[in-house]
Each structure stands twice: as structure tokens, then as C-alpha cells.
Homo-oligomer: A and B are copies of this chain.
Amino acid sequence: MKEVRILEIKQSVFADNDRQADLLRADLRKKGVFLLNLMSSPGSGKTTTLMRTIEALKDDFKIGVMEADIDSDVDARTISESGAKVIQLHTGGMCHLDAEMTKQGLEGLETGDVDLVVLENVGNLVCPAEFDTGASKNAMILSVPEGHDKPLKYPLMFSICDVVLVNKIDVLPYFDFDMDKCTEYIHMRNPRAKIIPICARTGEGMEEWADWLREEVKNWKNHC
């Protein structure tokens, strides 16, 4: 695997994260850069989903990826094989990224020619939901083995996501996962959330997801 650049992120000094996030979002819109904030529990399949997403969209857009992790660069090394521009962000123990930290990452990535940047946030359903990163859209992955009751337990995460990818549907026969209940609970938290069942390993559902994301990026760039 290739070596990847690692950026040690500094903790933010800004008290008003919402303001910083709005400023960053406005700046990205001006530059025509779409930022997707991708969140999930540890082990839900963010990196595999991302590999498939890059594969599906690499002819449409120049793609950049920021891999946020407490430690290690295993995901960034995997992603670097995809041809996307990658940077590893080390959060120094921090459990989330805020807008200023995201900005540091974007500067490190150098987004000059990039259309779509995906931020793979720290694996955590609690803290990342509390901080607006300045992203154009928020996405999360809920995997089948985690159970359909997660929207009941992590309400904020589901309420802020524009799209929920329900991953690992290939193992549905082996788990007590009720897709109807899952949909009901997600919509209880956020009636407008789009829900797309996928299997990143086999590719099932990835076309619908890629279509959704392609449209969003195009709309964003059309309104720069």
C-alpha cells in the first residue's frame, strides 16, 4: 500500500462552532466544492462504502477524502488505492471533528481541483452529531448487525442526517433486523431522511446511493 500524508489536527479555539461551520460552507460553495460528512459506529463499513462510492463517481468528479481517526492510518492507506486524493487526519484523542478542524483538513488536502470531498468522521454515534463540520450534506451508515433500534438510542445522529445508508443487507438472514421498524424509527427522528439499503461488499444498492450523491454534487455546483 501507498504511504499517505498524516495531518495532526489542532484543537479549535472558536467558541461558536455553528458560525465557523456556516462560514466554511459558504466558502466551499463559492469554490464549487461539495463536502460530505460521513458518520457511523465503528465497523459499520464506512471505508468499504467509500471505496465503492469512489469507483462509481470517479469519472464524474475529482474526489478527495479526509480520513479522521484517533490513531492509525489503515483506512487512508486502503482509500489511497482508489485513486482519490487522500489525507489522514489524526484527532489526537478527540472524538469528533468540528468546523475549524475540518477546515484544517481541507487546507491539508488542497482542494483546488476537487469537486467532492468526503470526510470520514470518527466512528462514533454520539459526539460527531453535535458538531456541524460545515458539510454540504450529512450521511450516516447503520449496519444490519447493529440492530434496528439505534435511532431510538442515538436520536441526534439520525435527526441531523440527510441520508441513512443501511449497510450489510447481505447478512439480513442471520440477524433479527426489522427493516420496516428501522425505517419507522429513522423517520420518527427525521421525516425527510432518505434511506438507502446497501451492501458495500457486494455492491447492492450502490447505484441508488451514487445517483443520489451525483445529483447533490451537481446541484451544489450549479448554485455556486
1/0 contact trace for A164-203 toward B, CB 8 Å? 0000101100110000000000000000000000000000
Query: Which residues between 3 and 34 of chain A lie within 8 Å of chain B, taking CB atoms?
Result: none
Are the C-beta atoms of A69 and B127 separated by less than 8 Å?
no
Question: In the complex, which range does the number of interface residues on chain A fall in?
Answer: 35 or more
The reply to whether the CB of A224 lies closer than 8 angstroms to some CB of chain B is: no
Q: Is A70 an interface residue (CB 8 A)?
A: yes
Total identical chains: 2
Q: Which B residue's beta carbon lies closest to that of A126?
A: B95
B42 touching A43, Cβ below 8 Å: no
Report yes or no: A43 in contact with B123, Cβ–Cβ below 8 A. Answer: no
Give 19 pairs: A residue, B residue, CB < 8 Å, sorted on A.
A42-B146, A43-B143, A44-B146, A69-B153, A71-B153, A72-B153, A72-B155, A74-B152, A93-B130, A95-B124, A95-B126, A95-B127, A123-B126, A123-B153, A124-B125, A127-B127, A170-B174, A171-B174, A171-B175
Q: Closest 3 A-B residue pairs measured CB to CB?
A: A43-B146, A145-B145, A95-B126
Name A residues whose Cβ lies closer than 8 Å to a Cβ of B: 41-44, 69-72, 74-75, 93, 95, 122-127, 130, 143, 145-147, 149-150, 152-156, 168, 170-171, 174-175
